[in-house]
């Protein structure tokens, strides 16, 4: 079975992707290939950061691999927090501080249109391919729901009257930005694998 490296050690992401790939490839994490390097995301776009990860692994190990980057873009805030989504309030991964900063910056704003975006960069036999997924929605005025991950408690997808923190994981995985980008990646891999 052909190996495919996902340039992450995030177990949640790995399980999600493994479930979608359904055993067509042997999915490996950075831990699995012994990579403990801290790959700095110095890009100013999701595309650049995803590419930094996949290019780094491909150049070092010469293995087919992919990396991703994602975040929240809010129209009124000129696309913020964007690539800085995980560290918008300063400290990386302080989710409540990030949410509070968004809500403060949007205070009094009537245009609360936003989207989650994911970009995947795949290095496949030396060639780079990109896959992009978005889910449109808006920002609530206060958090709601039991899933505290990222901006889920304040993001309401178009066509829903609940936040991402209030819908089931199964439902979210059908409509999310990451699911859409992954579906494109898997279609590409399936076609490549059949050749």
- How confident is the model over 47-90, as pLDDT tens digits? 999 999 999 999 999 999 999 999 999 999 999 999 999 999 99
- What is the pLDDT, as a whole number, of residue 195? 61
**Does residue 23 surpass a pLDDT of 80?**
no
Catalytic sites, residue numbers = 69
Nearest to 117 by CA among 60, 50, 33: 50
% of the chain residues with pLDDT over 90: 71
Tokens representing residue 162 in the block = 């609940």
CB 131 within 8 A of CB 184: yes
Structure tokens at 164: 């991402």
Q: What is the pLDDT of residue 111?
A: 97
- pLDDT tens digits along 80-110: 999 999 999 998 778 999 999 999 999 999 9
pLDDT in tens, 128-138: 999 999 999 99
Class of domain 3-194: alpha beta
CB 7 within 8 A of CB 29: no
């Amino acid at each position: 079975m052909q190996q495919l490296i996902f340039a992450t050690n995030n177990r949640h992401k790995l399980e999600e992707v493994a479930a979608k790939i359904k055993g067509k490839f042997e999915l490996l994490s950075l831990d699995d290939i012994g990579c403990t390097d801290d790959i700095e995301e110095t890009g100013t776009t999701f595309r650049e950061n995803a590419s930094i990860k996949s290019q780094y692994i491909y150049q070092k190990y010469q293995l087919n691999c992919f990396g991703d980057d994602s975040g929240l873009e809010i129209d009124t805030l000129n696309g913020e927090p964007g690539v800085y989504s995980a560290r918008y309030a300063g400290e990386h991964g302080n989710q409540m501080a990030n949410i509070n900063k968004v809500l403060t910056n949007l205070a009094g704003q009537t245009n609360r249109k936003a989207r989650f975006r994911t970009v995947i960069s795949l290095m496949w036999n030396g060639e780079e391919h990109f896959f992009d997924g978005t889910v449109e929605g808006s920002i609530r005025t206060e958090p709601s729901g039991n899933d505290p991950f990222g901006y889920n408690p304040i993001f309401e997808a178009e066509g829903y009257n609940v936040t991402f923190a209030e819908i089931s994981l199964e439902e979210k995985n059908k409509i999310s930005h990451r699911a859409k980008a992954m579906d494109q990646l898997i279609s590409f891999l399936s076609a490549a694998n059949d050749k």
